[in-house]
Amino acid sequence: MTSSLLRAAEPTQIPDQPGLWFVFKAGELLLKDDLPLRGTAEVLDGLEPTFLLHLGSFENTPILACELSPDIALPEGWKAVSLRAAISLLGDPLYGVAGYASQALYWARTSAFCGTCGHTNGPLRQDLARTCPNCGHVAYPRVSPAVLVVIHDGDQILLAKKPGWGRRYSIIAGFVDPQESLEECVHRETLEEVGLEVAEVQYLASQPWPFPHQLMVAFSAKFVGGTIRLEEDELEDAQWFHFSQMPELPPPISLSRQVIDAWLASRKGQLQTTQ
């Protein structure tokens, strides 16, 4: 969630004033002139929206979200884009709001019933939690932490790619296991995916990633031993790359690209100071 979004006290109460509508259909974001819809709930007349949510306000503008049936025909001038494609259209921070809207709708849709007793859950609260009126169980939106790790060895960085990525490479990533620290996850994922050992694990930055509810946490780590051995179910290739010869990389808005760029800048800066 973008830090500029002030959450609504009652997400299910839709205000009368115009706002920005983040409307989704079959997982895709609907835009008009490459922007979210603007107006009151009347802009959705005849479209039978579900899970209408008032998420809060962004720059003094109400932020609203809903889903449409996959069978609904889009009005003229509207287009559907994947949430990933919306990155280049919306930019930051508006893309962050779209990601929050997507995750809020996903949670509203999948949390209607209590996971403990099966009873219908209560309404969404300000923090999007639901309380079961039957057994009292409180459920919060799911967040799945995952680590990213820049593994470096002098002027080289380890990059890998998964099947279907084409020529694009990125850094090692993986989800955190229960009862595992972020640093422990860095060591385990590195050993499992590429057979390498690392040390000097240092936190760099974090980023929410709405596919559908991840929190990416980036680290740097120094290579200390091992030979590349791929976990073939996960990776297609992994190689060491010199900072002067980078392959195709992830898009600039992704945290993986940002930490790669930061490492590249640091190596080039060190080279200039020694010349």
Residues 64/14, Cβ–Cβ less than 8 Å: yes
State residue 59's pLDDT score: 87
The mean pLDDT value for 174-190 works out to 97
Same fold, 5-112+120-130 and 144-274: yes
User: 2 pLDDT exceeds 60?
Assistant: no
23 burial class (0-12, 13-18, 19+ CB within 10 angstroms)?
A: buried
Question: What is the pLDDT at residue 1?
Answer: 43
In the beta sheet, which residues pair with residue 159?
A: 239
The residue extents of the domains of the chain are 5-112+120-130, 144-274
Record the pTM: 0.86
- Band (pLDDT 50/70/90 cuts) for residue 260 is very high
Mean of pLDDT values over 252-256: 91
Q: List, in sequence order, every residue forming a beta bridge with 161; answer none if it has no partner.
A: 237
154: burial class by Cβ within 10 Å (0-12, 13-18, 19+)?
exposed
Task: Give me the mean pLDDT over the 62-78 stretch.
Answer: 92
What are 45-54's pLDDT values in tens digits? 989 999 999 9
d(CA 259, CA 205): 8
Mean pLDDT of the chain: 93
Tell me the CATH architecture of domain 144-274: Alpha-Beta Complex (3.90)
CA gap 123, 193 in Å, rounded: 42
Residues 138-149, mean pLDDT to the nearest whole number: 96
Residues 199 and 224: their CA atoms lie apart, in Å, by 7
User: 5-112+120-130 has which fold?
Assistant: Nucleoside Triphosphate Pyrophosphohydrolase (3.90.79)
pLDDT of residue 84: 86
CA-to-CA dists, residue 71 to 4, 5, 57, 74, angstroms: 34, 31, 30, 9
The three-state secondary structure class of 179 is coil
Asked if the model's pLDDT at residue 124 lies above 70, the reply is yes
One-letter amino acid of 48: E
Q: Is the pLDDT of residue 3 over 60?
A: no
Are 138 and 123 a contacting pair, CB within 8 Å? no
Residue 272 has pLDDT above 80, yes or no: no
Please report which helix (H) or strand (E) contains residue 105, including its range: helix 94-110
